[in-house]
Amino acid sequence: MLSPREDLSSRLGLDVPKGWWPTAPMLKGLEAAGFSWVQLRTPPRAMLCDREAVLRHAGTLRPVVAATGLKIVLHGPDDLVAGDPAHDRALDGLIDYAAATGARYVVYHPAGRAESGPAEEESLRARVPRLERLGVTLAVENLAPVYPGPLRLCHDPLHVRDLVLRLASPRVGMLFDAGHANIVAGLRGTDVRSLLMQVVDA
């Protein structure tokens, strides 16, 4: 059995900032520093709609990452909202990109409007079989308002958790963003621990 420190070290990672290309020396440096995971940004939504471009981009990235022992988390475009035909094409491209790069997790930002909820959920549900077949996990992230903006559905960790539970797949999970939850907790007059306890008490 691994010690707590060893277990944690195998789960630590860093984010390559948006707009940066992850070069081999950069990733080798992260690996040498003891990190096991790296989060990379995907191409923008318009490019994800072009399957040939997606596979070409992924084909350039994969050998760079493969030269290290790092595991990949992909962060999808912030403006990608499942349930709209154009966005759904990009979502399919995002799944293609994950499979082609060997990524195990893809971060997705849920919609924040009540009226988009049913279409978004139906779109995600339709893609569950493909996620399961490819072994890619969609990580649905709780968000936070740009202060002092109003709270929306995607800012509520319980809403995100319930969406994930309804999709009922081992390849759809929740990414609990503690920083976002801290902002929301402050606006609600509570604390992050209370929000987290509500989320895990499913």
Length of the chain: 202
Instruction: Tell me what pLDDT residue 198 has.
Output: 85
Please give the model's pTM, rounded to 2 decimal places. Answer: 0.91
Helices (H) and strands (E) in the chain, counts: 9, 6
User: What are the phi and psi torsion angles at 94 (to 5°)?
Assistant: -65, -40
Q: How far from each other are the two terminal CA atoms of the chain, in whole angstroms?
A: 28
Instruction: Tell me what pLDDT residue 6 has.
Output: 52
Q: What angle do CA 146, 95, 104 make, to 5 degrees?
A: 85
Does residue 134 contact residue 99 with C-beta atoms inside 8 Å?
yes
What are the structure tokens assigned to 141, written together?
């992230």
Instruction: Tell me what pLDDT residue 195 has.
Output: 86
DSSP 43: P
Instruction: Tell me what pLDDT residue 8 has.
Output: 57
What DSSP assignment string belongs to 96-163? HHHHHHT-SEEEEPPP--GGGHHHHHHHHHHHHHHHHHHT-EEEEEP---STTPPP-GGG-HHHHHHH
Instruction: Tell me what pLDDT residue 165 has.
Output: 96
What b/e string do you get for 76-96 counting C-beta neighbours within 10 Å, with b at 16 or more?
Answer: bbeebbbbbeebbbbbbbbbb
The answer, yes or no, to whether the previous bond of 148 is cis (omega within 30 of 0) is yes
**Cβ count near 193 (within 10 Å):** 11
pLDDT in tens, 15-63: 999 999 999 999 999 999 999 999 999 999 999 999 999 999 999 999 9
Q: Which residues of the chain have pLDDT under 50?
A: 1-2
